[in-house]
Chain A
Amino acid sequence: MAKDLHSFIEELERDHPGDIVRIAKTVDPTKHEITAVLELLKQRGEQPMAIFENCLDIEGELSPTPVLINAFATRERCATALGMPRDQAKLPLSVGFSRLAADACDPVVVDAASAPVKEIIETGDDVDIRKLPIVMHSEGDYGPCLTMTLAVKDPESGAYNAAFIKAFYDFEDQRRLRITIHSTDSERALQYYEDRGLPMPVVAILGHHPSFYLGTMALTPFESNDYRTIGGYLGEPLRLVPSETWGEDFMVPADAEIIIEGEVPPGVRMIADPFGDITRQYQAQTLRQVMNVKAVTRRSDAMLQDVFAGHHDHMTVGQIPKEGSLYNTLQAKFGDVITAVHLPLSGCGRLLVYVSVRKTYEGLGKAVALAAIQESWTFQTVVVVDDIVDVYNEEDVVWSALVNVDMSRDVDVIHNIPTVFTTSQGYRKVLIDATRPLDRTIPEMNRVPQEAMDRINLDDYLAKG
């Protein structure tokens, strides 16, 4: 039995029933009712994977398709998806994630009769995106938006690239989506087609096992075949089947929930956005590519998977791969003095980096910060602390910065450097060495002796009677 979204649901309901919630009450996704439920749950400290079993579609009719959302909202759930222990969901999860890329394996091709995603096929005039319960996420969004991955095929190498995108429902055409092509590989493929005046084939993959999507986030070399990489994260070869539109020239995941096949016409741009995105800010309205839909294929029991954009579901899925990659980079450069890295959710899992080091000489913190900031375009600020500080405990990191940092020498601003996200920091990056200075005397951090804590069995002291 191949891994798919349904097998993951079964696993959660069997092993972690408190981690999943089914909601039978009818909701209207276009009126923010799904994201409102998730926000209210979050305010109660709960971030379960949620299945909304009865959803209205774009036209306000009851849809046969449930919506599944928030699969990636906690690191523990991502660990389960990757077959890793939940009590190792901090740095070990991130480092373990980076190792899975080495387990990449060739996909296998199955026939349509063995592909659940081919159970229902709509082409031509039968295609109507309005039948989907597409989610409206934030108050100021342009409109209902699909948020899972879009796959393109590099026309020269033949490698497939899958990346999270947004695809807005088009109010003027039920067979068109307004999409954002933004990964480096996808942009290169688009340029190839546009230079030749040709439409670019694309598919939207709207539901699969969460490890499929985590695999798309692996930081792999240019022109890597994501269908191959994903196999390393699934722990088994990805099953593929020929698409309806291009046959064997463009393969699609056989165990997906829903596949939308379409073409990006060359040179066409239309208005899209705003959208409440990863930094919890609205991306401004601008011109985006469009996708003319050619076919929709789906399982008979398909769910429409979605990401709770601008929330933990969105942040964690990128946070884990970046942590693993950064840790490996810093380890290669500095060795075992690097003890941990973390991209906290306060920095949306993208903007802010915490690194802990075993400091052996003055200036190490700054050198590490300088190396770390270059790892990703999304990093804007790096804070380096001592190894006695748990980088996953933000209270300790901020404390460390407050007591250790001499603003005149431990904070460096790099000016006029491109940044990805629009913040008041502008075209600047900030390095903060919050390690304890070795060349000056300042009070040490207080601690309860470890020896004493090792002697104590807490249950002996809390026992009643």
Chain B
Amino acid sequence: MIDADVHAVITDSGVLAPYLERQWVEYMSISQFRGPTDNSYPPSAATSLRPDAVGMPPVTVTQLTDAVFTGDVEAAVLSCSYAVDSVHNPNAADALARAVNRWLADEWLGVDPRLYGTVLVTPQSPADAVRQIEEATGNGRFVQVALPVRSLSPYGLRGYWPIFEAAAAAGLAVALHFGGSPGLAPTSTGWPTYYAEEYVDMASSFQVQLASIVLSGLFSRLPALRLVAAEAGTSWVPGMTWRLDRLWRALRREVPWVTSPPSEYLREHVRFTMQPFDAGPSGPEPDMVLYSSDYPHWHGEDLGQRWLASLDDSGQAAVLRGNAAGWYGIPR
């Protein structure tokens, strides 16, 4: 089995000090800047932490591997959602992103060969993001780049294309990941009161990002591009594709470079991590889903496991291993 979504968490930016140039250690020390604050996973929200994850975060390598590598799990894709996208000093954001990637490589991927890495980038500075990808992939243990699904602009905009080009050139998947702190309201109608609203509405951010990417024509430019919608749920996928296909049929003169219904591009280029599982009784198509635990986050009663158990053998094999092995190029 491959677990496509597990997390290293930084609660004390001190862990990055060995990976930061002296200038940035001083910068953080003088300002008492403790690293970006990100409330995508509020510390006490029911979805942030498994009930058995006592004393966390931080998560240590041992805690994580003990919890994740149970049963048949033989590989896991690790990411760190450190909110460098919220740091407006571009040099500081770049330094922090590179430090996180080195920390991941040294203290996680280097310690346990079953872990595969996700490159943290600064989407607000695409040129820096390209260098962050190039630097990290020298290590050989990174299999994807993560972009927080909330961003300043939709990722189909040309300014972001170099990030996708660099990822595709390095053979990496690109994950759109739950969360992000770009400074804009999380809905197009402003800032909601409750985290519960942000959590529900995150599905909308995934939809507009995927619509933007497919309508931009990026998939025609990068036919090998592989996307992952991480922690997106799948409840919204049928409604989204009906709506987008229908609009494309009516309005496709505006985007003549999109020559097939958008749903066809999405089916070819996008996969979804299993947790948090939010689909109704019929569930998603097994070919589209990558098994994930989302450790150490929590999703209550395990509808995902129940859905998995309802699949036939080939469906289960695809979700548990085959889909991710192909998507990430993880060897047996």
- Please say whether chains A and B are actual partners in one complex: no
Which residues of A approach B to under 8 Å, CB–CB?
Answer: none
Which residues of B approach A to under 8 Å, CB–CB?
Answer: none
